[in-house]
Structure 1
Amino acid sequence: MSIIFWKTIVVYFTSILAFCCCFRSNVNREDNPNIPAIAKYFSTKGRYEEVNPYLIEDILAVNRSILQPPSAQCREIHVTAIIRHGTRYPTSKNVKKMQKLYQLVKSGASGKQSWLREIQTQWRMWYTEDMDGRLVKKGVSDHKHLAVRLSKLFPSLISEEKLRGGFFKFITSSKHRCVNSTLSFKAGLTELWAITDMEFDHAVNDALMRFFDQCTRFVQEVDNNPSALSEMDKFKQGPEMRRVQEKIADRLGVPYNNITDDMAEAAFYLCAYEFAIKTVNSPWCQLFDEVDAQVMEYANDLKQFWKRAYGYDINSKSSCILFHDVFSRLDKAAKENKSGQQVTEAVTVQVGHAETLLPLLTLLGFSKDNDTLTSTNYATQAKRSFRTSHTLPYAANLLLVLYDCGGGDLRLQPLLNEKPVTFPGLTDQRASIPLYQDVRGHYSDLLKGCDFETECQLFKHPAEV
């Protein structure tokens, strides 16, 4: 029989096996009383395990066959990993909203349901403002486990030899949750290999990992501009959100005007944080059914779309500095490899925020729909690609893996949350990982331009010139 026949058989059975594994994990997730039915709609407050359900059964599970290099002689020579911090406490701003809702429920709710009585008599408000977004124990585990899984995916790169040899570079945002996530990632590796005689440095670089703070045009035109989120604001005042608020009021037995959109958001966050931090299916989750959760998810997606993604051009262009940094590392690895040298930076681990990752993913063209997300097209966006619940959970990551396939054939594979993806708009790549030069060609306009300083300066009015 032909080689093509046997390859077809292998692909077929691999697909069936992957489907069965996924199906089993999904069944377990849905049957598990500890997992809220609405957990898959928590957007940027979601667990990484909801994006990769097989990890619920085995947190260190990997499947190297998904990498599918174009030929057997291909070998990884460099990987850049841009990773969001792990699970964190709510910010002080959200804690205030949650405390306000809790007081209303404690003193004013009159419903008779058992879950409501549990909130009123047993549940205690344990979130405090000083927690303010700090990494939690689960967030430490998120990065430790991710480090181990990546070492299993790329054993020749993410290895003890490479770490000890100084071929790793760690870069982080200055925020506690990012620094501690970086320390956790390193600890995952040093504990895996029982390294106790060495320590490994990391660099704090906010210019790279918090570029959004330093982009004047973004700060003034979007971040500090109340009208920039007008579509989200209109949606929160619209019929879908109003119905969610009324249903919450009915379940609590309070007047409709007591439940604002902020109160609804606080209730949704309470459910999400209790689950992400403590793996608890909290009684707060009973305030929402799946229809409600989809509306809440869309409200947050509107926020992310207009504030960090395709809503305004400057959102993605603010990440130009990180974009160029990534490609300069890839170029350096390619050049060293071509000249026969050892690649001096085999692994780059860069830890930042959802606000770091989303603009870069947007600049690269991921999760782009034909239609803009607005306050009025919720009903037609049910199957949208732009779903932060799918792309930006805690510890979300973009991996760019550079392969040497022999004869000067360099190829680049992107993975999003450990799953291979294709570069948007890059043709003739489905059968294999694209040539690195083709990727560079595809993004040539950004590589030639996309200057951070130019993009981020405020435009001057003619009278000021």
Structure 2
Amino acid sequence: MKVLWITVILALSQYEAHAQQQQQQQQPQCCEEYCFGTDKDRPQTLRFTSKTAYLLAKGKDVERNILPNCSPTKIWTLSRHGTRLPSAKTIEKAGHLEEIRSKIVNNYKVLKTKPDTGALCMEDLFSIQTWKFNSSITPEKENMLTSQGWEDLKSLAKTYQRQYPSILTKDYRSENFLFRHTEIQRTEESFKAYAEGLFGPNVWQNIHVSRPVNGTDTLLRPYDYCPKWEENNSQKEGTEFENFKNSALMTKTIADISTRLGFLYSLEFKDIELMWDMCRYEQAWNVDRVSAWCGAFTRAQLKVLEYYDDLRYYKKSGYGSEINSKLPCEVIKDMLFHLNSKTKPNAVTYFAHSTVIQAMVTALGWYKDEEAPTSSNYESMENRQWRISKIDPFASNLVAVKYDCPADSVDTEKVLFLLNQNTVSLNWCSVGLCDWSAVMKHYNDFYNGNCAEMFCQSGASSISSLLSLSSLLVAAIVYLIY
């Protein structure tokens, strides 16, 4: 009898051990342990592509650029608008995020389906549980500049004014300045904020703003007049970013994010993207606060999402489509024309959008990788140059400063290119400082070229045939007035 009991006890122990092993195998496993709420560094907030906060992305080179024996004479600036609200489509989806939030809380507290590894920490779970979308943000306010966006541009103006006080004077004189913005609320408000940074509150009301002829803004919004660009942009099937979206790496990433949130199935990509969007927007609106939805992701998962977005922009307005190298012909010609001119205005500032900033960087040949980023080389592109987080955050700005350097016996005229207050290093320039003759030679195709022929290539709309004439007309009017 004693032997029988021992046999039974051993059998039960083996059964219990087997059951525990089975349960452990069924318990979901996710990813590395990570807690956004307690992370003091949060380096991934610098990898939020076009929704990266400018306060985090900006450089400091502009404040270090002291050029002995050189005097700044001209400054030309193209700036993207500051931090904005989401599109109406994203705002309307906020209700769906509240549904996802409730399911996550239910997964953790009721269904007990959180993973053994990589689960949300208490801080991140609490942030998601208590998250509510700001009800004052309605679809009617879509894409409007935020208070942080205003500060982005106001601070930007002050930064450049401190560095170039002889050009960006504190008193406004119409002959010294040329301002222009697209006819959209967020760029108009960005202009006002920039003007306040330079001249003080409400001075913008007395500033003359240049306008496009007949409302045709081929200077700052050339893509609006190029059906071929629109057709290229609407194509998704077979593109590198779409292939990456459907790749094994992205599939695993989506599965891991879903598991981290307690789901026993994979969420749809659009749900993952919505959470990521809200994370990025909220973090840009309030840089010093913690966005609840950023806690849904680990650092490694956000790198994958960043790469997807970089691939998308690479095709839309980067090196992935040949048309982007010609699209900003007018604005590059304008930059060269103003810098080369011996007459006023000495400060030209334009306010536009992501597409023209990225396309201009592309056309100028900046930040181009030797190996193009594709859907299959994610691992080797860790240190890629084409990183939208650095190229085009909110309030991104491309600045060209012309210098007079009389001590130079070869070329007394120099140009310094800055992108987001970082010096642009070009292999044909010396430590970022370029001879003006080299600039004109390098970009001669734009300066002496016919934008009507270059713009939009052969697929331009009928309006492109007027570009060359309109460009000359606008230039003539501006210089007659100022």
Superposed pair shares fold, TM > 0.5: yes
In the alignment, is the contact (CA less than 8 A) between 2:88 and 2:140 conserved in 1?
Answer: yes
| Cα deviation code 1:16-62 (max 9, x no counterpart) | xxxxxxxxxxxxxx9996774520110110011222377xxxxxxx8
Match of 2:438 in 1: 438
Larger radius of gyration: 2
Distance 1:290 1:94 in 2: 24
1:50-449 correspondence runs (5 A): 50-52=56-58, 64=63, 66-69=64-67, 71-72=68-69, 74-107=70-103, 109-112=106-109, 114=122, 115-124=124-133, 126=135, 127-161=137-171, 163-164=172-173, 166-191=175-200, 199-205=206-212, 206-220=217-231, 222-227=232-237, 230-257=239-266, 259-279=267-287, 280-332=289-341, 336=342, 343-406=343-406, 409-423=412-426, 425-426=427-428, 429-431=429-431, 433-449=433-449
For residue 52 of structure 2, the aligned residue among 46, 51, 60 is: 46
In the alignment, is the contact (CA less than 8 A) between 1:138 and 1:277 conserved in 2?
Answer: yes
Distance 2:373 2:431 in 1: 32
The normalised TM-score by structure 2 is 0.77
Secondary structure of 1:256's counterpart equals: coil
Secondary structure of 2:338's counterpart equals: helix
In the alignment, is the contact (CA less than 8 A) between 1:232 and 1:374 conserved in 2?
Answer: yes
In the alignment, is the contact (CA less than 8 A) between 2:424 and 2:432 conserved in 1?
Answer: no
1:453, distance to aligned residue in structure 2 (A): 4.5
1:76, distance to aligned residue in structure 2 (A): 1.0
In the alignment, is the contact (CA less than 8 A) between 1:33 and 1:281 conserved in 2?
Answer: no
Distance 2:447 2:176 in 1: 26
Relative to 1, partners in 2 of residues 1:63 and 1:173: Cα closer, same or farther, differing over 3 Å? closer
Relative to 1, partners in 2 of residues 1:436 and 1:96: Cα closer, same or farther, differing over 3 Å? same
Distance 1:440 1:350 in 2: 21
| Cα deviation code 1:180-205 (max 9, x no counterpart) | 101110111222xx786972122344
Distance 1:440 1:31 in 2: 50
Q: State the one-letter code of the partner of 1:159.
A: T
1:175, distance to aligned residue in structure 2 (A): 1.4
1:63, distance to aligned residue in structure 2 (A): 5.9
In the alignment, is the contact (CA less than 8 A) between 1:36 and 1:281 conserved in 2?
Answer: no
Which structure 2 residue ranges, 5 or more long, are not aligned? 1-35, 110-119, 461-482
Relative to 1, partners in 2 of residues 1:179 and 1:459: Cα closer, same or farther, differing over 3 Å? closer
| Cα deviation code 1:284-342 (max 9, x no counterpart) | 1111111011101101100110110000110221111111111111122xxx2xxxxxx
Which structure 1 residue ranges, 5 or more long, are not aligned? 1-29, 55-61, 337-342, 461-465
In the alignment, is the contact (CA less than 8 A) between 1:209 and 1:356 conserved in 2?
Answer: yes
Secondary structure of 2:165's counterpart equals: coil
Q: State the one-letter code of the partner of 1:41.
A: R
| Cα deviation code 1:378-408 (max 9, x no counterpart) | 1110010111111111111111011112387
Distance 2:53 2:379 in 1: 26
Secondary structure of 1:77's counterpart equals: strand
Match of 2:463 in 1: none
Relative to 1, partners in 2 of residues 1:32 and 1:47: Cα closer, same or farther, differing over 3 Å? farther
1:217, distance to aligned residue in structure 2 (A): 2.0
In the alignment, is the contact (CA less than 8 A) between 2:367 and 2:385 conserved in 1?
Answer: yes
1:256, distance to aligned residue in structure 2 (A): 2.2
Secondary structure of 1:349's counterpart equals: strand
Relative to 1, partners in 2 of residues 1:212 and 1:63: Cα closer, same or farther, differing over 3 Å? closer
In the alignment, is the contact (CA less than 8 A) between 1:398 and 1:415 conserved in 2?
Answer: yes
Secondary structure of 1:297's counterpart equals: helix
Distance 2:452 2:204 in 1: 41
1:121, distance to aligned residue in structure 2 (A): 4.2
Match of 1:22 in 2: none
Distance 1:352 1:322 in 2: 11
Match of 2:112 in 1: none
1:95, distance to aligned residue in structure 2 (A): 2.9
Relative to 1, partners in 2 of residues 1:37 and 1:67: Cα closer, same or farther, differing over 3 Å? closer
Match of 1:16 in 2: none
In the alignment, is the contact (CA less than 8 A) between 2:50 and 2:354 conserved in 1?
Answer: yes
In the alignment, is the contact (CA less than 8 A) between 1:36 and 1:285 conserved in 2?
Answer: no
